[in-house]
């Protein structure tokens, strides 16, 4: 079984990767440059190339103080990006 972990550079994603590694579960944790979750085509290509058995979606826009100033970016990651992963 291979698990895809999004948002591995964040606190939650990092901890999930550590736990998978500890348990000997193979995983891939692409950087946003490898798989931009806001780009549906990029997500589909990555999924087709890696064929994960499961996905743990930890990527999120978490800059609470900037969310009001960057609503488009926040929406792109948290709403559109999540839809692309689903």
Can you list the domains of the chain with their CATH numbers?
3-85 (3.40.50.720)
Residue 78, pLDDT above cutoff 90: yes
Rounded Cα gap, residues 58 and 13, in angstroms: 5
Question: Locate tokens 């193979």: which residue?
Answer: 26
pLDDT of residue 65: 83
Average pLDDT estimate for 15-42: 96
Question: Locate tokens 């589909």: which residue?
Answer: 44
pLDDT of residue 66: 83
Residue 40, pLDDT above cutoff 90: yes
Residue 67, pLDDT above cutoff 90: no
Q: What is the pTM of this model?
A: 0.91
Residue 63, pLDDT above cutoff 90: no
Phi, psi of 53 (to 5 degrees): -85, -25
């Amino acid at each position: 079984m291979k698990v895809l972990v999004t948002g591995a550079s964040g606190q939650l994603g990092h901890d999930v990767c550590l736990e998978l590694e500890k348990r000997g579960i193979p995983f891939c944790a692409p950087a946003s440059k490898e798989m931009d979750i806001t780009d549906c085509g990029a997500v589909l290509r990555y999924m087709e190339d890696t064929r994960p058995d499961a996905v743990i979606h930890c990527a999120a826009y978490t800059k609470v103080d900037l969310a009001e100033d960057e609503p488009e970016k926040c929406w792109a990651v948290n709403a559109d990006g999540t839809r692309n992963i689903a």
